[in-house]
Amino acid sequence: MSFEVPEDLYYLASHEWIDPETGRVGISEFAQDELGDVVFVELPNEGEDLTQEEEFGVVESIKAVSDLYSPASGTVTAVNEALFDRPELVNDDPFGEGWMLELDVADDLDGVLSAAEYREQIE
């Protein structure tokens, strides 16, 4: 099975993605498939400062609990509150409506994987 890995995003080895244009963060299609039915998402509050690879929340599927790690350092400017009532959006649309938070990124995006590098990791 091959998974979508959008070219314009950057990734962490732990399967989070970040859009360099908007600072939006989510988890990859591969990750949501591995998790199965997502039933709960715990996210930080707006205004919190995160550092790269710091835990920022938790995503739980019926069968497992997984920590979420920030792909960049920055300040949380928005969280996707729709996920509190509809966590299944993470399964249905991981790169779209299933986004998790937006970051005002503090520095240049170093230490992340390109789409090609991430694709290599999951294949």
Partner 1 sequence: MSEQEPPLYTTHEERGAKFTPFGGWAMPVEFDSIRTEHEAVRESAGIFDVSHMGEIEVSGPDAATLLQGLTTNDVESLSVGRAQYSTITNEEGVILDDTVIYRLAEEEFLFIPNAGHDGEMEERWVEHRAEWDLDCAVENRTDEWAMFAIQGPDAAALVSKAAGEGLRDLSRFSITRAEVAGTECLFARTGYTGEDGYEALVPWDGAEGVWEEFDCQPCGLGARDTLRIEAGFLLSGQDFHSEENPRNPYEARVGFTVDLDTEFVGRDALARVDENGPEELFVGIRLEERGIPRQCYEIRADGEPVGEVTSGTMSPTLGEPIGLGYVPTDYAEEGTEVAVRIRGTDKRARIEAPGFLGDR
Using CB under 8 A, list all residues that contact partner 1. Answer: 1, 36-37, 39-40, 42, 58, 60-63, 65, 84
Which of 31/112 has CB closer to partner 1? 31
Which of 23/87 has CB closer to partner 1? 87
Query: Residue 43 has which token pair?
Result: 């996210």
Which of 50/105 has CB closer to partner 1? 50
Q: Least distance from C-beta 60 to partner 1, angstroms? A: 5
Q: Least distance from C-beta 84 to partner 1, angstroms? A: 7
